[in-house]
Amino acid sequence: MKSVAKAHANIALIKYWGKEDEQLFLPSTSSLSLTLDKLYTITSVSESDRDVFVLNRQIQNEKETQKISRFVDLFRTNNQSVKIESINYFPTAAGLASSASGYSALSVALNDFFGHHYDVEQLSMLTRRGSGSATRSLFGGFVKWEKGSNDQSVATPIEKEMDIEMIIVIVNEQQKKKDSRSLMKVTKEQSRYFESWTQYNDIDMQEMLTAIENEDIHQIGKIAERNAMMMHATLLAIEEPFFYIEPQSLEVISLIQELRQQGIVAYYTMDAGPNVKIITNSQHRPLILERLSAYQTIVAQKGPGATLL
């Protein structure tokens, strides 16, 4: 027997940064994202005499396999070991995290493989424990992940059809210098701005929900921008300040600001790496791409939720 699932990556417009409970993956902030069509993972689960994890056709080491095994334990009904094969279909050198699409696809495949038939809410709570942002990739389009409490922290889709696109600008193809899981832990422990971050995040979330309801792309972009920069500001106020933002990221940001002054819909967000994601719409995308011709870019539209294949 083999269960196969597909899930897409997502980019947050309101960021998840910090955990209230590290074991349960309870986030310190609610977050909101857009699932993207161009980046996805396909994962299969099949019977095996021991747990094996193959990522992008390479057998993973003991440490990575144990990490996955612990996640499989959340679904495992008997002592059945599994072989997990996962491939990330991300444009070459996208420099983007694949844990969201990866754990989301794995959850859907494990749900089927072990015959659980969990509903989306139960699945959301379990997926979160593989990687926080993965819980948002269970759904397509705009997705809200409520911080909740006592393990009740789930993602839900926001039903809204609107013209919104993201242009991912690759400024550096290399792996990020520090992984987000450990850095968000340090931020919560040390950042002088952390409390402010969580407070303003609540405000941004409410305003973002209204902006989406009103299909107001300018307001969506504006809130996403200030939210992302506040997340990055928390990193400037830890004991050894850390920058994901690189000189080339700033060049792209300056260009976006310039384009905006010319009346073009262009706002930016950044995650745990130097690449810049531009929030725009189909009308303004060609103009932006023209101006960014010196950069490698990926244009992404709204993608679907995770599915069993």
Tell me the β-bridge partners of 307: 6
Binding ligand 2P0 (rule: CB under 6 A), the pick from 31, 104, 107, 153 is 31
- Least Å from the CB of residue 306 to ligand 2P0: 15
Token representation of residue 93: 């050198």
CA distances from 19 to 35, 133, 224, 267, 284 (A): 22, 12, 20, 27, 37
Rg (Cα) of the chain, in Å, rounded?
19
Number of residues that bind ligand 2P0 (CB under 6 A): 15
Among 177, 181, 226, 291, binds ligand 2P0 (CB under 6 A): 181
Q: CB nearer to ligand 2P0: give 99 or 259.
A: 99
Interface segment toward ligand 2P0; rule CB under 6 A; list 41-49, 127-135, 208-216, 300-308 = 127-135
The angle at the Cα of 231, spanning 153 to 188, to the nearest 5 degrees, equals 65
Comparing CB distances to ligand 2P0, the nearer of 266 and 272 is 272
204 counts as binding ligand 2P0 under rule CB under 6 A: no
Q: Is residue 127 a contact residue for ligand 2P0 (CB under 6 A)?
A: no
Residues 66, 59 contacting (CB under 8 angstroms): no
* Binding region for ligand 2P0 (CB under 6 A) out of 15-23, 68-76, 217-225, 292-300: 15-23
Distance between CA atoms of 147 and 28, rounded to whole angstroms? Answer: 6
Binding region for ligand 2P0 (CB under 6 A) out of 126-134, 159-167, 195-203, 248-256: 126-134
Query: What mask, x for binding ligand 2P0 by CB under 6 A, covers residues 251 to 280?
Result: --------------------xx--------
Helix ranges (DSSP H) in the chain: 62-73, 99-113, 120-128, 180-190, 194-213, 217-236, 247-261, 285-291
Provide long-range contacts, Cβ within 8 A and 24+ apart, for 79-82. 80/47, 80/114, 81/47, 81/48, 81/49, 81/50, 81/51, 81/52, 82/45, 82/46, 82/47, 82/48, 82/51, 82/52, 82/110, 82/113
| Of 9, 12, 167, 279, the one binding ligand 2P0 by CB under 6 A | 12
Binding flag, residue 131, ligand 2P0 (CB under 6 A)? yes
Cβ–Cβ under 8 Å, residues 137 and 101: yes
Shortest distance, position 103 Cβ to ligand 2P0, whole Å: 8
Q: Which is nearer to ligand 2P0, 88 or 259 (CB)?
A: 88
Q: Does 25 bind ligand 2P0 (CB under 6 A)?
A: yes
**Considering the rule CB under 6 A, would residue 168 count as an interface residue with ligand 2P0?**
no
Residues 106, 86 contacting (CB under 8 angstroms): yes
Footprint of ligand 2P0 on 80-109 (CB under 6 A)? 97, 99
Work out how close the CB of 176 gets to ligand 2P0 at its nearest, in angstroms, rounded to a whole number: 9
CA distance 307 to 309: 6
Structure tokens at 227: 């939210």
Residues that bind ligand 2P0 (CB under 6 A): 12, 15-17, 25, 31, 97, 99, 131-133, 180-181, 271-272
